[in-house]
Amino acid sequence: MSVTRPFCLGLLHVLLLVLIYSCSQGTGSNKSTEAYRHSLQDSINEIELSLEPIKNDYVQLQVAMKESHLSNDLISQLVLNQKIGDIHLKSFRFDDAIKNHEDYLRLSEQLADSLQIVKALNLLASNYRKAYQLEHAIRHSFRARKILDNLQQSDSIIFKAKAETLNGIGWIYSMLDFPDEALNSFNQSYQYLEKNISDTELLADNLTGMGIAYSNKERYDSARVYFNKSSNFHIATNSRSGLGLIFLSFGKLSTKQGNYREALIFLNNAYNTLKETNDWIKQMEVCFASGEAYKKLAQYADAEKFLLEGLEIAKEMNLPFYLKTAYSELTDIYYLQNKPTVAQQHHIASLQYEGLIKREKMQNALFNAFTDYQRTESERLIAGVETIYVTKNIQHKFLIFSCFLIIVLLIAIFLIYNQYITNKKQNEKSLVEITKLKSDFYTNITHEFKTPISIIIGLAEKLKKTIGESKSAHNLIDLDIIGRQSENLLFLVNEILTVSKIQSSNQIHWVNGNIVSHLRYLHSCYQDVAEAKKINYLFHSSSDEIIMDYSREQIWVIVNNLLANSIKHCSAGNKILLMVREDKKQKKCIIEVADNGEGIAAKDLPHIFRTFYQGDTDLREKIGVGIGLAFTKQVVESLGGKIQVRSVPFNETVFTVEIPVTNYRKSASITPAEETAPVMRQSAYDPVESGESKGESGRPLLLIVEDNRDMVFYLTTILRDDYNIIVAHDGQRALEIAEEKVPDLIISDLMMPAMDGNSFCCHLKKSVMTSHIPIIVLTAKTSTEERIDLIKAGVDAYITKPFIEEELKAKISQLLKSRKDLREKYGQVVLESQNVSSDITNDSNFEFLQRVTDIIYREMRNIEFFPQGLASEMCISPSQLNRKIKSISGLNATNYILKVRLNRAKKLLTTSQKPIGEIAMDCGFNDFAYFSRTFKKEFGITPSKYQRMPHLQE
């Protein structure tokens, strides 16, 4: 409705201007332009006649195109681009068709022929419309309409071009659900077709479009009349594609009227008719319409068959709109067939394509194009009136024009004012409410900012006065207060940013799994903070698993705010308990956060979920900004749940969150086995003695260093499908495992017994065996000093607890990829003696590999030296040597030694005159046949042939 009113206003405005223009239209025309157009058209006709023998022969048309480029014949190129583009369009190769028709448009513009430009624009609009890229179709169609309005000729060619343009615009309106505007465009096109134009195909297409428009307006009898008229033309021309479209239209019409059996008869006729054509788009639409009819009749198997056939066509043609339609319809069918897993997969696929189809953006593009067309049309008509006035110099027509112009302006002003008043009344109520909310928000947040700012300013002034009096102790106290108040300001800003980030998310990302394990993980993230305040910090669940639909992000927000709130209001000796249980009778999951801290006064309880409410308390600074609980309530309600609180100050405060238990989103990606394994199973936490003994040996090996069993279980659960896992519970044991197993990456906690995360990282980076291993630290601490300490310790990345699963996986993947790239660079530099930059030569891993390579060169003839002697000289065991070389170069020790020998042999073959057998002995190969085999396997050629290559001799 919001789009229709501006259209009506614009149409009335244009109608009045057209009336002015029609009353004063002159008789002059640009004869030279028309003569040029006819001359160019004659040339085009001659070229088309010469191409008649090859007709639609794509290969010969391409040969003709090459010849036209060699002769720089622009007119031939124009004709050939049109024909080749038409062939691509008939085969539904839209990208190729668009490319050729764009060249057709470019050449038309270069030749400055308006009619050819319009033809090219109409072809491009048709390409984009059939591919459902409506924004481009709208732009090209309305541009063609503007050009046609400026053409003064009135011959049949111009009429046909106008009819084609208006027909295309009518289909765009129809596809975007504007039946009135579509009907108006089809009618205008039909009027041009009646002016001595015998284009039966276009006439039938107009009638079909009118029938669809009437069907969308629910005027079914009128729709049938126009469908019947259109079918007569298609029968006369024996157009199977056109008849298929008519059957399809009748089928959709019957479906709208609830006559599903009748609809299937029509759709079956359409299906059989179109099977004998190559019109894949209409065949696909018949499949979708048949699926809809069978779904209405509860014949889900038949519906699924047709929808899957339509999906295959959509995939082959790679059309996002139709792919979205197919996946969406199949989602409904699978839900109706009680196949929730398959339905969820198709729903996810539908959402992926839905983001590519921005229907509102297309409607806005249509509205903007129409508005721009109105403006251009108005300017053109007014300019025409002024030109006629100057040419004829008739005073009374100027008066008439002026009167009409005044009337139009008055009507326009009246309508605009009326529209403004209507919109103002509609928005006034909501604007008042929004203004009040904003006012309250900024008033409260301003008061919150004023307190720390006032303290900081006051203490800063005090410091200015006392800084020269050497009152260092007092100054340190003042600076400490300034620091705390600065942190308060940062907390306020972070709270506002958090609210903005979560509220800006339009959709909730649901998963199905064990919510208990996720809550246990979130609880463990605050273990260090609670222990630092000497709080008795506990977790309890009535069962090990509660399988349900939930959002990790939303649950994180809820639990994070409640636990942080409890920790803030508790002191040493207090107790905090996170409890979770399932009410199976009412199908609810109940999460409770209880503490015996300072609590909430009875008069404040009804208001604590209001934004910025803090009550009349002396502990205002401790209570904080008041955003968290209000925002928590919004998040809980977005999950369909509710939150309550009860409190007895300094005795008990309990926040209770109730969330509905549903299982609509079961997915193969998150199985109950992953989420519901018993949390305290000892085997889940014991260190794995060999990465190769668990899972696939080809996968990267990860070492997890964490003393909290819940956190270990959570990390193992999310990573075990992609990586082999080793676990250590303290830094000392982790250091031993790292030097023995040489993992590909280490994930470590910061706070651990025996050796903390900082010391552990320092030891790793100083050790020759482990200096290359990437390290990710998980920490609940976020201060600047702590982050600087981590960077100094050599940490490659740190992630703040609680973290998002996808963030951790992405960071691991990126670090492993970087390490792989570095291995390849090391191998090329050392083995192939490439130029090396200073940043690599200063790297300890490169120095290690270079030293190993030098020893191999030195002892190359001594076969008994390897690998024991090499390991001894490097002061490590053979297994450690093997792992270290493989982690740096990607090759195990044996293969690396062999590769160095072969590269040495390759170099000697090109620089030495020695016999091949002697070169083999020099490089440590006592068996010539073995040397020849390995050389050919490595370089693809035997040593003798390589030595005889002519370019090497030169």
Residue 15 has pLDDT above 50, yes or no: no
Same domain assignment for residues 221 and 258: no
Mean pLDDT of 283-308: 88
Average pLDDT in the 571-581 region?
93
Query: Count of alpha carbons within 13 Å of 366, Cβ hemisphere only?
Result: 27
Residue 359 has pLDDT above 70, yes or no: no
Q: Quick one: pLDDT at residue 586?
A: 92
DSSP conformation letters of 315-343: HHHT-HHHHHHHHHHHHHHHHHTT-HHHH
Structural domain boundaries, residue 948: 824-953
Q: Is pLDDT of 226 > 70?
A: yes
- As a whole number of angstroms, the longest Cα–Cα distance in the chain is 116
Q: Residue-wise over 809-848: b if at least 16 C-beta within 10 A, else e? A: eebbeebbeebeebbeebbebbbeeeebeeebeebebbeb
pLDDT at 596: 92
Answer yes or no: do 538 and 562 share one domain.
Answer: yes
Structural domain contains residue 131: no
CA distance 565 to 627: 11
Q: Is 816 part of a structural domain of the chain?
A: no
Band of the pLDDT at 619, cuts 50, 70, 90? Answer: very low
Share of the chain above pLDDT 70, in %: 74
Residue 570 confidence (pLDDT)? 92
> What is the pLDDT, as a whole number, of residue 25?
46
Return phi, psi of residue 751, to 5°. Answer: -100, 115
Residues 618 and 581 in one domain: yes
Tokens 């004829």, residue?
A: 392
Same structural domain for residues 770 and 867? Answer: no
Q: Distance between CA atoms of 227 and 243, rounded to whole angstroms?
A: 10
Of the ranges 288-292, 430-434, 584-588, which one carries the lowest mean pLDDT score?
A: 430-434
801 pLDDT above the threshold of 80: no
Closest CA to 873 of 856, 888, 886: 856
Average pLDDT of the chain, as a whole number: 77
CATH code where residue 212 lies: 1.25.40.10
Residue with tokens 């000289």: 873
Q: What is the CATH number of the domain that holds 608?
A: 3.30.565.10
pLDDT at 68: 85
Output the domain CATH number for residue 916. 1.10.10.60
The whole-number average pLDDT for the span 724-742 is: 88
| Residue 89, domain member (yes or no) | no
Mark whether 837 and 948 lie in a shared domain.
yes
- Number of domains comprising the chain: 6
For residue 133 the two structure tokens come to 């890229």
For position 612, what pLDDT does the model report? 58
CB under 8 A, 24+ apart: contacts of 651-654: 651/596, 651/599, 652/594, 652/595, 652/596, 652/599, 653/566, 653/569, 653/594, 653/595, 653/596, 653/597, 653/599, 653/600, 654/592, 654/593, 654/594
What pLDDT does 568 receive?
A: 87
User: Per-residue pLDDT for 677 more than 80?
Assistant: no
Last residue of a domain, one of 803, 838, 861: 803
Q: Which amino acid is at 417?
A: Y
Domain contains 870: yes
**Among 322, 342, 357, which residue terminates a domain?**
357
**Token pair 């979708």 is at which residue?**
288
Same domain, 540 and 485: no
Residue-level pLDDT at 3: 44
Indicate whether 520 and 606 sit together in one domain. yes
Mean pLDDT of 297-325: 85
Give me the mean pLDDT over the 110-132 stretch: 85
Q: Does 607 have pLDDT greater than 50?
A: yes
Do 517 and 647 share a domain, yes or no? yes
**Is it the case that residue 546 has pLDDT exceeding 90?**
yes
**pLDDT computed for residue 9 by the predictor:** 47
More confident of the two residues 775 and 691 = 775
Do 780 and 833 sit in the same domain of this protein? no
Question: Is residue 700 situated within a structural domain?
Answer: yes
Q: Is residue 284 assigned to a domain?
A: yes
Instruction: Indicate whether 437 pLDDT > 60.
Output: no
With a CB cutoff of 8 Å and minimum separation 6, the contacts of 635 are 502, 554, 557, 558
Residues 519 and 653 in one domain: yes
Question: Looking at per-residue confidence, does 524 or 725 come out higher?
Answer: 725
> What integer pLDDT is reported at residue 952 of this predicted model?
52
| The pLDDT of residue 703 | 94
588-595 and 652-660 as β-strands: parallel, antiparallel, unpaired?
A: antiparallel
Domain-ending residue, one of 173, 201, 236: 236
Backbone angles phi, psi at 798, to 5 degrees: -135, 145
Contact 861, 854 (CB under 8 A): no
**Considering the domain boundaries, does residue 112 fall inside one?**
no
In this predicted model, what pLDDT tens digit does every residue of 452-494 receive, in sequence order? Answer: 776 676 667 667 666 666 556 666 666 666 766 666 676 666 6
Q: Read off the pLDDT band of 673 (50, 70, 90).
A: very low
- Opening angle at CA 686, ends 682 and 688, nearest 5: 140
* The pLDDT value given to residue 685: 36
Read off the pLDDT of residues 82-115 as tens digits, 9 standing for 90 and up. 888 888 887 778 888 888 888 888 888 888 888 8
The CA distances from residue 96 to 17, 74, 353, in Å, are 41, 20, 23
Same domain, 847 and 942: yes
Classify residue 867 by its DSSP letter.
T
Higher local confidence (pLDDT), 377 or 4? 377
Give yes or no for residue 37 having a pLDDT over 70.
Answer: no
pLDDT for res 321 = 80
Which pLDDT band, with edges at 50, 70 and 90, does 440 fall under?
low
pLDDT band at 593 (very low <50, low <70, confident <90, very high): very high
pLDDT at 661 over 70: yes
Residues 225 and 278 in one domain: no
How many angstroms separate the first and last alpha carbons of the chain? 82
- CA 949 to chain centroid, in Å, comes to 53
The total number of residues written for the chain in this structure: 954
Residue 139: pLDDT over 60: yes
Q: pLDDT category, 392, cuts 50, 70, 90?
A: low
| pLDDT (average), residues 339-350 | 86
Residue 435 confidence (pLDDT) above 70: no
For 53-58, the CB contacts below 8 A with 24+ separation are 56/83, 56/87, 58/84, 58/87
Higher pLDDT, 694 or 534: 534
The stretch 21-50 carries a mean pLDDT of: 63
Give the pLDDT confidence score for residue 681 in this predicted structure: 36
Is the model's pLDDT at 679 over the cut of 60?
Answer: no
Q: Is 322:314 a contact under the CB 8 Å cutoff? A: yes
Q: If 0-12 CB within 10 Å is exposed, 13-18 middle and 19+ buried, where does residue 864 land?
A: exposed
* Mean pLDDT computed over 838-845: 59
> Is 834 contained in some domain?
yes
